[in-house]
Amino acid sequence: MTRLWLAALFCVCCVPLAQAQAPPAPAPRPLVLPGPAAQLQGRWSPRPRVSSGKHVSLELRAKLQHDGAWFNPVVDPEDEGFTWRRRRLAVRGEFFNRVEFEVEREFGDELEPWRDVWANVRAHDLLEVRGGKFKNPFGLDNSTSSVSHDFIFRSLGTRALAPGRDIGVMLHGAAGRRRFTYAIGVFDNDDPLDPDVEPFFDDDQGAASFGRTVSGRLTAQPFDAVSSLPRAGVWRLTASGEELLS
């Protein structure tokens, strides 16, 4: 009887030792797609994006802004209620970390629905070339995106003086982690607006077209470590051979 108990105790002690010496089970192999599809990656945050390594990336962007206003006393009933300010959809892409493009459309504007339609080629951080329809490099207020702006609308001075989007070509670049930037471009837009049609209100459209325009921008932020210091800049605008603003 004593031998039987000793044999049972020996078997119980040997079972954990045998399990510890057994080889681990092989991990399941990940699913690998054949061909170029193996490098495709997708994500939803912060916005829908599909990329293939550093070769190709496509990104979907949308801007929606719905305003409401009521007054007491009421001056004009037509000024009260809800209004769509922005209903934009854009596609932005990049190829081989050298070529970028963006196509953006405003679905609430029947006169000028296209906003940013441009392509950009980067030869170096100091030398990039952009062509198409985009904002003139004039005015920090108008150059700041509406999703990054501190206020709901841009200032009245910006909407009256700073040019908006025109068709042109621009050279631009940056150095020192964008502590120093420059941009200079030539633009031309002589399309007259129909006086009988009320234009769509959009605060980043800027002032009326100045025709053929040469505008430039030079900014510097030498104390990059101190985030509270503003960025200093110099802007210059020339239209049809006459200096307008600087």
Nearest to 203 by CA among 158, 140, 148, 239: 158
pLDDT at position 225 is 56
Q: Is the pLDDT of residue 208 over 80?
A: no
Strand order in 127-135's β-sheet?
Answer: 40-43, 49-52, 56-69, 81-95, 99-106, 114-124, 127-135, 165-175, 180-187, 213-220, 232-239, 242-245
The whole-number pLDDT of residue 85 equals 83
Helices within 98-150 (DSSP H only): 140-143
pLDDT in tens, 89-136: 999 999 998 999 999 999 988 888 899 999 999 999 999 999 999 998
* pLDDT above 90 (res 183): yes
pLDDT at position 73 is: 85
**Amino acid occupying residue 185:** G
Contact status, residue 164 vs residue 181, Cβ threshold 8 Å: no
Q: Which residue did the predictor score with more confidence, 50 or 233?
A: 50
Tell me what pLDDT residue 126 has: 93
Angle at 128 between CA 119 and CA 120, to 5 degrees: 10
121: buried, middle or exposed (CB in 10 Å: 19+, 13-18, 0-12)?
A: middle
Model confidence over 47-84: pLDDT tens digits?
A: 899 998 878 999 999 988 888 888 888 878 777 888 88
